[in-house]
Structure formats: C-alpha cells, structure tokens
Chain A
C-alpha cells in the first residue's frame, strides 16, 4: 500500500525520534504559578518559623511530570477557647491522597458525621475566604512575600471543632479523616505547641509520635 518513499521516510523519522530516549528526557518544569511557588518554599519555611504558621506542604509526582507543589496553608496559632480540631475539605486539584479522583466533599454529610461524634462539642464551618482572612491576619507585620504567594484559592474549606476534654480526640480525628472529601485533620493544639520552628513541625508532624497532630 505504502510507496517505498513513504516507508523510507517513516523509518528515518522513527530512528531519528528514537535517539531521544524517554528515560533521558529532562522533566518539564511546571511553569508560572507553580514555579513561583517553588521559589517561595524557602520563604514559606522562614515565615513559618517566624510567624508560627504551619504549612502543610506535599510533593506529589503527577505522572512523569515534575512534582507539583501544593499547599494547604493553615495558621496554627491557637489560643485557649478556640476550636481545637480542624477538618479540612478537599478542593478541586487537591494534592492530598484522600482527595484523589476529584472527590467533592458533601458538606452536609460531613457536618452530620462530625456532630455525631461524642468527643465533639460544637462544629463551625469556615470557607476558604474565612481561612484566607485568618491567614492574612497571621501575616500582618510580616514582609508580605508569603501573602503574595498565597491566594484565596490555596485555602481549603474547613470545619472547626470544639472538643470535650477528657475524650479520645485521636479517635475522632481518625474517624473524620476517613470521611469522603476530607483532606486532612489537624489538632491545632498540639500543632501550635510544635510550631515554634518549622523544622520541629516537619519532624514531629510528619514523623512518628505519640500524640496525633495530623491525620491521615
């Protein structure tokens, strides 16, 4: 069917193309916003150390692409009387494994399940705008680089839980983190305790420890 010229051309093109082997390709760098984000990672770390803001950063390989850096940024300043546990919800393109397959959180169902827990005293919903505002306020007086890097869209929606003293919070956290559409559950009290230095957070929250600051 094919003419000899067509076959020859095909063959030459295939062999020329084959000189680029897949393993040797330089990975594509994720441009623009993500690249800016990666640069800002160091700033984030510094700001976190200074401001007592914990950043929950995750690197996730997307296919063969460069890792995409994503962040759920949560100020861990906590003072007496504030909700102790935060339950963060998945958002589109969330990097958290719990949010794979583009899970859309069913806000009503999650709230109902949280209220049903005996350890939970009260539940308040805070959308990303509220969380951004909280984050913004944590940055007042800082040099603003972190503020520039983080947008409202980077913020997750969340439920804030007031907990009953003397109950097993980690059981409630584990249960909450298993609900569909929940990306991460943070114990703000123990996270705040450890937020003095970013390094400590990294070690303690991500490492094994008795007290559960974060699930999953």
Chain B
C-alpha cells in the first residue's frame, strides 16, 4: 500500500487538487487517505483493486473537505488561491480557468467522473470502481457531466 501511494502520490494530489482547489488541502487529503488506508491494509484482500481503493479514499477525503467547507458559514480565507481563481489565470490562461470554474459548478459526482476520465484516462469501469458506483452509472455520469460542462461554456459536447 505504501508503494502504491509512493507511485501514485503525484497523481492523487493532482486529483485532490482539482477537487478541492488548493494544493495544501489536496496534500492533506492524500496524506489522510494514506494514513487511513495504511491502517486498514490488512483488510484489503485483492491487491489488484488497491489503486481503485486508494482513489476512492482520496475522493472520499475530498468530499468531506467540501462538505465541511459548505457547512462553515464564512470559511477562513484560503492562504493559497484555488486553481480556478482569477489569480491562477495568469498561470493557466483564461480559457483553461473558465473550464475549471465550470467544472467546479457541476455536481460533485460529475466532477469526479469527468476528472477521472479526462485527466487520468480511466475506463468506465475504473471510474466506477474509484467512485464506488456501477459501470453504467459512471458512463452516464460522465456523459451528463460533459454536456452540462458544454452548456455552461456555451460549447457543443
């Protein structure tokens, strides 16, 4: 499990970054997921499902961060501008920032599905495994997410 994290650390932080927006939180989420899955490593019977398992753990961590933020009335100012902020436009370019802002506006499940598919190039089944849903649900979530994104950006899916 430790090796798995070492190999995929960067990818997992990037996944978390796209979900939660800022890097410090993203790294924390991955660290926490690592600590949790490390504790439960004895329970993991099928090594081939380990990567899906750690991806789920990271996504779950992101979900709880976002939930926590949503429930805080006025959360503390993040000490790092989120990737979709105006400040990061200089780094990414306005065009890309628009996409990230639109992505952020989607329901959480759709964001996850789109990120797993279009950033990590996962198959429907791999997306499904990471999200803990069925293959067909993953497929339809990706399709719905993509058309919602296109709608938001005034493009064709």
Contacts and interface: CB of A to CB of B under 8 A. Distances in A.
Interface string B8-28: 011001100110000100110
B47 interface: no
Interface of B: 2-3, 5-7, 9-10, 13-14, 17-18, 23, 26-27, 30-31, 34-35, 38-39, 83-84, 88, 91-93, 95-97, 99-100, 103, 114-115, 118-119, 146, 149-150, 153, 155-157
A20 to B, nearest CB: 5
A119 B136 CA distance: 70
A17 B18 contact: yes
Interface residues of A, number: 29
Interface of A: 3-6, 8-17, 19-20, 22, 25-26, 28-32, 62-65, 68
A68 B115 CA distance: 32
Contacts, number: 107
Contacts of B39: 31-32
A19 to B, nearest CB: 6
6 contacts: A12-B97, A13-B118, A19-B83, A22-B10, A28-B2, A28-B6
A82 B146 CA distance: 74
A9 B118 contact: yes
